[in-house]
Amino acid sequence: MRIGIVVDSACDLPKSFIEENNIVVMPISVRVGDKTFVDRRDPQETWSFYASHLDTRTEDHAESIPWTQQQIEDLFLDRMVLEYDHVFCLTITSARSLIYDHANKASLNIIGRYKERRRQAGVQGPFSVGVINSRTMFTGQGVQAAEVIRLIREGGTPSQIGNRIRQLTEETYAFLMPADLFHVYKRASKRGDKSINWGTYTLGQMLDVKPILCSHRDQTGPVGKVRGFDTGVEKLFRNAAAQIRKGLKAPQVCISYGGDPEQVKSMPGYEELDRAAREREVDLLTSVMSMTAAVNVGSGALSIAYAAEPHGFH
């Protein structure tokens, strides 16, 4: 059986990994002021976006624009139903985007229309699609998508893979360390988001105190505060290393950075994280942070995610 996977462009994975594993990306448009950009998970386009629109403190309203139900239907009927027999569609948390809702509705129409498309193309057999709400964001989506790929390689059936990934949505922790609170506060306040308030923003600007945010089970909010970006990154890496040594639920950790990913290797705590990953045969997948993520947290932010038993952040 031919099994494929579709993700939205908020999913943080290296471009090489996406291409090598034939992961299909649904672009998300990002509107900043009166200009619109399309996030295709292209590192060069993303860096250009950072430089031109995120390195300055603009008051422009920013928002992401998910694919419509019709666009998702067109992708599946024009391509996916012909190339695969089952497709997993893994989306950013439904608490932050309408993509999951659009994909769910599209899937009902796809199932009712795919037979004629396959017949015309001479493709035999049934087609099915599983739409999964990742219940997390960015690198968290990456962990789950990478696990789908691993299970496909191992010969898993759609039922086995679907059950495993739905369980993984309960176990995925995605952490975010902003470099500058300006974008976090501005974007959150315009959305009515309570993940960072005026007091936190003001104190942070005065004392260089930054929140560590966590996205888990459709909830996103602060789980700690640190003084200085490097201190926060080191805590995130050491926390991830500790969880690796305890035993992860999936053998991959995803990292994304709002800049050159090569710089991540020189950040404090990375050596310990890398050592723990090699000891336990865990893959570290490092990528450029998506436009969708960066528009909410600014350039220079870092995210890391893994799947593990319930635990607190220390």
CATH classification of the domain holding 255 = 3.30.1180.10
127 and 262 share one domain: no
178 and 164 share one domain: no
Centre a 10 Å sphere on the Cβ of residue 245 and count the other Cβ atoms it contains.
14
Specify if 313 maps to a domain: no
Per-residue pLDDT tens for 30-84?
888 788 899 999 988 998 888 776 655 555 567 889 999 999 999 999 999 999 9
Centre a 10 Å sphere on the Cβ of residue 63 and count the other Cβ atoms it contains.
14
295 vs 100: which has the higher pLDDT? 100
Instruction: Count structural domains, the chain.
Output: 2
153 and 191 share one domain: no
Q: Strand, helix or coil at 180?
A: coil
144 and 180 share one domain: no
Helices (H) and strands (E) in the chain, counts: 12, 13
187 and 273 share one domain: yes
Q: What is the largest CA-CA distance in the chain?
A: 66
Of 168, 198, 233, the last residue of a domain is 168
130 pLDDT higher than 60: yes
119 pLDDT higher than 60: yes
- Of the ranges 31-35, 240-244, 248-252, 303-307, which one carries the lowest mean pLDDT score? 31-35
Specify if 178 maps to a domain: yes
Centre a 10 Å sphere on the Cβ of residue 187 and count the other Cβ atoms it contains.
19
196 pLDDT higher than 70: no
184 and 134 share one domain: no
176 vs 56: which has the higher pLDDT? 176
Count the helix, strand and coil residues of the chain and give each as a percent rounded to the nearest 5: 45, 25, 30
Residues spanned by the domain of 19: 3-49+63-168
148 and 250 share one domain: no
164 pLDDT higher than 80: yes
